[in-house]
Amino acid sequence: MSVLIDGKGFAATLRARVAGHVSGLGVVPGLAVVLVGDDPASAVYVRNKGIQTREAGMNSFEHRLPADTSESALLGLIHRLNADPAVHGILVQLPLPAHLNADLVINAIDPAKDVDGFHILNVGRLGTGQKAMVPCTPLGCLMLLRDRLGSLAGLDAVVIGRSNIVGKPMAQLLLAESCTVTIAHSRTRNLPDVCRRADILVAAVGRPEMVKADWIKPGATVIDVGINRITRDGKSRLVGDVDFAGAAQIAGAITPVPGGVGPMTIACLLANTLTACCRAHHLPEPEGLTA
Ligand code: NDP
């Protein structure tokens, strides 16, 4: 039976570390979250982000805009937040309504305040090994991997999924750790064989329990990013992209869903906001909060 990677516990420790640094900083970090429309899942995420931001001793500025907000109105808000010295981090909750160009909006954020790490400049910096704001979910996965394995150098890593928010930045981070990285996706041939090579397997697909036990190399470290709501035995529940019960018999260590990667995402958002605040005020950056 595998070791369970306790993302929930790790995230609580990380949030406490962030709060400890914030209390002695001499300036209050501020995170602005912009929600356009009334998607219920996004509203829950935004509420949780606000609660955890305040619990860490930071200011939370929430901007809820109607679904029919124009692009120019949204860009106007972002320009105001860019210019506001009390705001160190800006996050635009995705997805945006279809009439808004997400790339245009994200790239309007000051890259120094881009705590999601989605601005094209931060993407380029990450890809070229420069100091970047790193996307929160892959950063959280990296922290869990480092904590579990120490050095990742030379390990074979397979990332299933090539999205801009998880798969690609995850692969970049693993490459920077000197892993040998394979990115798999929906057109990958012989996916089970590809996965069986992995010392580190990261699943970021969005397909419930797709990765089966016999896809996993014995002893591998499995990071399950997927969050999928299913109904089983008449009950609604969350499952990952990995068939947890089977995989836990084979893997060396594995993240559960829920309680694995999920809680790391907001904890890393707080860490990124603290990092952005330290950089804005030329304060020393606490160690271990970024890649
Ligand atoms: P996307 O839908 O943007 O990307 C999914 C990726 O999976 C694509 O690259 C797609 O390939 C690939 N894929 C789809 N089907 C298959 C298949 N049958 N075999 C191999 N690859 C496949 O999703 P995200 O990256 O945004 O999210 C992935 C999962 O992670 C979701 O469950 C999401 O809810 C979860 N998530 C969790 C977070 C957390 O905080 N824990 C944060 C963000 C996401 P292709 O490119 O070829 O289409």
In the chain, which segments carry CATH 3.40.50.720?
A: 136-262
**What's the pLDDT at 29?**
98
The architecture that CATH gives domain 136-262 is 3-Layer(aba) Sandwich (3.40)
**Can you tell me whether residue 52 is helix, strand or coil?**
helix
Which residue minimizes the CA distance to atom 41 of ligand 1?
A: 262
Q: Ligand 1: which of 141, 205, 209 to mutate, most ligand atoms within 8 Å of CB?
A: 205
In the chain, which segments carry CATH 3.40.50.10860?
A: 26-110
Q: Ligand 1: which of 185, 190, 269 to mutate, most ligand atoms within 8 Å of CB?
A: 185
Catalytic positions: 49, 93, 116
What would the two tokens of residue 231 be?
Answer: 């109904």
| Ligand 1 atom showing the smallest separation from residue 264 Cα | 40
**What's the pLDDT at 1?**
83
* 205 CA distance to ligand 1 middle (Å): 3
**What's the pLDDT at 172?**
98
**What's the pLDDT at 136?**
98
Query: How many other C-beta atoms lie within 10 A of the C-beta of residue 287?
Result: 7
26-110: CATH superfamily: Leucine Dehydrogenase, chain A, domain 1 (3.40.50.10860)
* 163 CA distance to ligand 1 middle (Å): 6
Q: Does pTM top 0.95 for this prediction?
A: yes
* 115 CA distance to ligand 1 middle (Å): 21
* 166 CA distance to ligand 1 middle (Å): 8
CA 254 to chain centre: 17
Helix (H) or strand (E) holding 238: strand 235-239
What backbone torsions phi and psi does residue 28 show, to the nearest 5 degrees?
-95, 115
The Cα 155–Cα 175 span in angstroms is 10
Q: Which residues line ligand 1 (CB under 6 A)?
A: 137, 160-163, 165-167, 184-188, 191, 204-207, 225-228, 261-262, 265
Considering only CA atoms, give the Rg of the chain. Answer: 19
- Would you write out the chain's pLDDT as a tens digit for each of its 291 residues? 899 999 999 999 999 999 999 999 999 999 999 999 999 999 999 999 999 999 999 999 999 999 999 999 999 999 999 999 999 999 999 999 999 999 999 999 999 999 999 999 999 999 999 999 999 999 999 999 999 999 999 999 999 999 999 999 999 999 999 999 999 999 999 999 999 999 999 999 999 999 999 999 999 999 999 999 999 999 999 999 999 999 999 999 999 999 999 999 999 999 999 999 999 999 999 999 999
Report the DSSP pairing between strands 228-232 and 235-239: antiparallel
Which residue minimizes the CA distance to atom 40 of ligand 1?
A: 262
